[in-house]
Amino acid sequence: MKAILLKEINSFFSSTMGYLVIGIFLLINGLFVWVFQGDFNILDFGFASLTPFFHLAPWIFIFLIPAITMRSFSEEIKQGTLELLLTKPITQNQLIAGKYLGALTLVILALLPTLLYVYTISELGASTANFDSGAIIGSYIGLLFLAGVYTAIGIFCSTLSNNQIVAFILGVTICFLCFYGVEGLSNINLFGSEIYALEYLGISYHYKSISRGIIDSRDVIYFASFIFLFLYLAKLNLKRYFS
């Protein structure tokens, strides 16, 4: 698994892919959070808070992470190298885990420079360190869980087709539906009432819960279950290439 993980990371940074993904993520965030006027601009927000960033990042992740994961298995299937990988002393579980952790590592590397935002709002405040550190830590943990779920979805989608564009579109669609679709359904008036219970099934609800700075075991279990579900589906889908 370690060899697959290192191979994935090296493949990202041996081309412009890794640098491009990190650069685009930081550029879009930087423009919306610090430059463009609007709801996501921290300077217009009026408080020493990273709330606008944590509202924006999940939406950028919906497009960014499928772009990272779309090649994970699609390229192997297209080039016919998937069978060669499993001739090595490695199991399907290790192969999937290596691909998953490699993509997730790149997302984490993209997140690390945003820690400078914490220092920036600390200096911009009326007094230093006048922000809610618990909420910021919780929000970053929430982003890591969210990235984990999106990456698992992206890995699964990359096993569905040998076309990277198809894998990307499927990844974006499923990530969007899981994050916002369920919450949107809960707000629809059916039979004269809103179905609030549906909201609990959506990723958005649990992400917002952790972002408050309180790590609830129910939220952790929810995210972990989601990750294992899509990685298991990826494993099941891979079996059709070896039957």
Stretch 83-104: mean pLDDT, rounded? 84
**Joined tokens for residue 212:** 């408050």
Domain limits at 69?
A: 2-241
What are the tens digits of pLDDT across the range 212-241?
877 888 889 999 999 999 999 999 988 876
Structural domain total, the chain: 1
The pLDDT, as a whole number, for residue 5 is 82
**pTM of structure:** 0.88
Q: Does residue 80 carry a pLDDT above 80?
A: no
- The proportion of the chain whose per-residue pLDDT surpasses 70, expressed as a percent, equals 86
> Which residue(s) pair with 194 in the sheet?
189
192 — pLDDT class (breaks 50, 70, 90) = very low
Q: Which of 13-17, 104-108, 183-187, 211-215 has the lowest mean pLDDT?
A: 183-187
What are the tens digits of pLDDT across the range 150-189?
999 999 999 998 899 999 999 999 999 888 876 666 566 5
| Spatial CB neighbours of 32, under 8 Å, sequence gap ≥ 6 | 38, 40, 41, 52, 56
34 — pLDDT class (breaks 50, 70, 90) = confident
What are the tens digits of pLDDT across the range 113-159?
998 888 888 777 655 556 677 788 888 999 999 999 999 999 999 99
Q: Does residue 31 carry a pLDDT above 80?
A: yes
Helix axes of 51-69 and 203-211: crossing angle, nearest 10 degrees: 130
Going by C-alpha positions, the residue among 212, 222, 33 that lies closest to residue 132 is 212
Stretch 7-29: mean pLDDT, rounded? 83
